[in-house]
Structure 1
Amino acid sequence: MEINRPEVVAQVAAAFEAYERALVDNDVNAMNALFWDTPETVRYGIAEVQLGGAAIRAWRETCEPVPRSRQLHRTVVTTFGDAYATVSTEFTSDATPLLGRQMQTWARLDTGWKIVAAHVSLIEPPQEKA
Structure 2
Amino acid sequence: MQLDDAQTIVALTHCSDQYEHALAENRVEALDALFWQGPQTVRYGVGENLYGAEEIAAFRRNRTGGSPARTVLRRTITPIGTHAGVVSLEFRRIGSTRTGRQMQTWINTPDGWKILAAHVSIMAEQPETERPTL
- TM-score, normalized by the shorter chain, greater than 0.5: yes
1:57-113 alpha-carbon deviations (Å, 9 max, x no partner): 000001142233x11112000001110100000100224332110000000011100
Counterparts of 1:1-130 in structure 2 under 5 Å?
Answer: 1-64=1-64, 65-68=66-69, 70-124=70-124
How many residue pairs get aligned? The number is: 126
Unaligned runs of 5+ in 1: none
Aligned to 2:130: none
Higher radius of gyration, 1 or 2: 2
Structure 1 segments of 4+ aligned residues over 4 angstroms from their partners: none
% identical aligned pairs? 38
Change (3 A) 1:71 1:126: farther
| 8 A Cα contact 2:75 2:88, kept in partner | yes
> Aligned equivalents of 1:90 and 1:13: distance in 2?
15
Unaligned runs of 5+ in 2: 128-134
Q: SS where residue 67 of structure 2 aligns?
A: coil
**RMSD between aligned alpha carbons?**
1.4
| 8 A Cα contact 2:71 2:94, kept in partner | no
> Aligned equivalents of 1:95 and 1:36: distance in 2?
32
Q: Which amino acid aligns with 2:114?
A: K
> Aligned equivalents of 1:95 and 1:23: distance in 2?
17
| 8 A Cα contact 1:104 1:118, kept in partner | yes
TM-score (norm 1): 0.91
| 8 A Cα contact 1:99 1:125, kept in partner | no
State the Cα distance separating 1:126 from its structure 2 match.
5.7
